[in-house]
C-alpha cells in the first residue's frame, strides 16, 4: 500500500469516526457505512437561473438521480486560489440544467442560502455504504433547513470521471452521474479527494 493509499485509508477511518454517528439514522437496517466524505460544489459553479429554483425551499426533498456533496471548510486563501485555478482550467460541470448534475446544483442552491455558507457552499456528505451511495445534507452551522438525504444511487451509478482534474487542484474530485453529466466537487483535504476518487472508481 503506497503513501497515497495509506493517506486515503486514514481519511476513510477519520471520516467514519467523525460523521458515522450523524449518518447512521439514514441507513437501512443492516446497512454498513463504508466511507463518508465531506464535500461542496466547486466554487466556480454559477448559481442556477432564478426561474429554475424551487418555489418552496423550506422543504428538503430528495433529488432523483442527482448527487449532493458535503461542504468542506477551506481557508479563505485556499478558496480564492481554487477559484483562480478553476477559471484557468475550464469547465467545472457539464450536462445542462435538466441533467442530473444540473438538478443537483439547483437542489443545493436553497441549502447554501439557508446555511449562509456563501462561497464555501452547502455542507454536504457523500456516504458510501455496502449497498448504495447517498448524498446527505449535514449543516455545519445554523441552518433554516433540516439535515436529510438529497439523493441516492445504486452500485456503480455514481462514478469517478475518467478525465482527471488539473493536478494543482488537489482538493477536487469530478464525479459522473448515471446520465453522463458531471460535477466538480471540492473535498476538505487532498486525502479526502483521493479517497472519493478511489472508492467511486472501485465501485464503477
> Domain spans of the chain?
3-202
Q: Can you give the pLDDT at residue 70?
A: 32
Give residue 6's region: left, alpha or beta (phi > 0; psi -120 to 50).
alpha
Are 153 and 131 within 8 A, CB to CB?
no
pLDDT the model gives residue 59: 40
pLDDT of residue 79: 35
Which residues make Cβ contacts (< 8 Å) with residue 19, sequence separation at least 6? 36, 38, 125, 127, 138
pLDDT tens-place values along the chain, 204 residues long? 555 778 889 999 999 999 999 999 999 999 999 999 999 999 889 889 988 887 654 444 555 433 333 333 333 333 333 333 333 345 999 999 999 999 999 888 888 776 655 445 668 999 999 999 999 998 876 667 788 998 999 989 999 998 888 888 999 999 999 999 999 999 989 999 999 999 998 665
CB 171 within 8 A of CB 187: yes
pLDDT of residue 74: 31
pLDDT at position 109 is: 84
DSSP lists the bridge partners of residue 172 as 186
pTM for this predicted structure: 0.77
Question: Quick one: pLDDT at residue 64?
Answer: 43
- For cell 456503480, name the residue: 156
Cα–Cα separations (whole angstroms), residue 57 to 6, 112, 165: 41, 11, 32
Amino acid at each position: 500500500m503506497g503513501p497515497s493509499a495509506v493517506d486515503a485509508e486514514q481519511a476513510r477511518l477519520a471520516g467514519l469516526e467523525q460523521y458515522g454517528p450523524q449518518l447512521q439514522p439514514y441507513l437501512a437496517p443492516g446497512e454498513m457505512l463504508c466511507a463518508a466524505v465531506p464535500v461542496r460544489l466547486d466554487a466556480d459553479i454559477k448559481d442556477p437561473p432564478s426561474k429554475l429554483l424551487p418555489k418552496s425551499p423550506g422543504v428538503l426533498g430528495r433529488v432523483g438521480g442527482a448527487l449532493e456533496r458535503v461542504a468542506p471548510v477551506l481557508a479563505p486563501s485556499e478558496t480564492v486560489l481554487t477559484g483562480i485555478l478553476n477559471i484557468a482550467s475550464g469547465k467545472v460541470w457539464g450536462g445542462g440544467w435538466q441533467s442530473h448534475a444540473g438538478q443537483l446544483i439547483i437542489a443545493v442552491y436553497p441549502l447554501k442560502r439557508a446555511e449562509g455558507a456563501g462561497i464555501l457552499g452547502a455542507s454536504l456528505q457523500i456516504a458510501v455504504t455496502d449497498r448504495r451511495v447517498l448524498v446527505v445534507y449535514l449543516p455545519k452551522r445554523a441552518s433554516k433547513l433540516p439535515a436529510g438525504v438529497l439523493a441516492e444511487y445504486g452500485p456503480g451509478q455514481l462514478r469517478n470521471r475518467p478525465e482527471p482534474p488539473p493536478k494543482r487542484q488537489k482538493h477536487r474530485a469530478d464525479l459522473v452521474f448515471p446520465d453522463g453529466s458531471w460535477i466538480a466537487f471540492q473535498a476538505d483535504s487532498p486525502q479526502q479527494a483521493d479517497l472519493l476518487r478511489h472508492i467511486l472508481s472501485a465501485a464503477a
